[in-house]
Amino acid sequence: YSPMIFISGSSSIPLRQSLNPSAAMGKKSYVNYGKSFRKPKRPFEKERLDSEMKIIGEYGLKNKREVWRVNYALAKIRTAARTLLTLDEKSEQRMFQGDALLRRMIRLGLLLESEKKLDYVLGLTTAKIMERRLQTKVFKLGLAKSIHHARTLIRQRHIRVGKQICDIPSFLVRLDSEKHIDFALTSPFGGGRPGRVRRRKAAAGGGKDGGGGGGGGDDED
């Protein structure tokens, strides 16, 4: 049941029908988050499906939503750069916002110091962002045996960036943080407490061969 509220001067038109929300102040939204990815318009395009599967396999992603999220972020960066390029070079907005955008891209390692132009932002690709992910960096630094092993180590809190443990594989590593990626101090790989299986073996008397569990506990907290 919805009450009929009438406007003065009109005896038969309910308020909820007479006021168009988009024409007036607009409908109030109670959603406090934005979209993080956008689905493709053509869901069964062969070239795109093949390229997505190649990216997922190469960078050890969980699903295609991770690819779409990177593409969405990249599209927003490109849109910002394209909008700024339409402004005059002496424009304050282009100078301040353009410099801020370029500084952020250089800090994340997406652009080189010699590429301080908005035109280079338009040339960014999905692969460049994927190369800056923590999962990719852990594998390329030799801390993991494979790209999938790197994801497992990160999710199980074996990896730190500086002093902070990071368990997000999609974390974008800054240039100045890249050299501080290492095993966490609490991890068995970083000199911390031994894993569950190793502790159990030590409690049972040490050197017994318990069939099939050897080394498996090293991957756990």
What's the confidence (pLDDT) of residue 26?
A: 65
Q: Residues 114-135: what's their mean pLDDT?
A: 95
> Cα separation of 118 and 81, whole Å?
6
Tokens, residue 216: 């498996």
> Cα separation of 46 and 48, whole Å?
5
Tokens, residue 206: 């040490």
> Cα separation of 140 and 121, whole Å?
25
Place of tokens 């990160």: 154
CA 200 to mean position of chain CA atoms: 37
Q: Please give the residue that has the higher pLDDT: either 211 or 205.
A: 205
> Cα separation of 210 and 220, whole Å?
17
Residue pair 77/124 in contact by the 8 Å Cβ criterion: yes
Residue 213 in this model has a pLDDT that exceeds 60: no
What is the rounded average pLDDT for all residues in the chain? 85
Residue 173 CB coordination number (10 Å): 22
3, 12, 156 from 19: Cα distances, Å: 15, 14, 54
What's the confidence (pLDDT) of residue 144?
A: 96
Which range, of 31-35, 52-56, 147-151, averages the lowest pLDDT? 31-35
Closest to 200 in 3D by CA, of 210, 186, 192: 210
Q: Residues 154-178: what's their mean pLDDT?
A: 96
pLDDT band at 25 (very low <50, low <70, confident <90, very high): low
pLDDT band at 15 (very low <50, low <70, confident <90, very high): very low
Tokens, residue 7: 């406007």
Q: Please give the residue that has the higher pLDDT: either 217 or 191.
A: 191
What's the confidence (pLDDT) of residue 208?
A: 53
**DSSP H helical segments within the chain, as ranges?**
15-18, 46-59, 64-85, 92-107, 118-122, 126-131, 134-140, 147-155, 196-204
Q: What percent of the chain has pLDDT over 70?
A: 81
Cross-strand partners of 6: 14
Contacts of 153 (CB under 8 A, 6+ apart): 138, 143, 144, 159, 189, 219
Which range, of 10-24, 65-79, 83-97, 115-129, averages the lowest pLDDT? 10-24
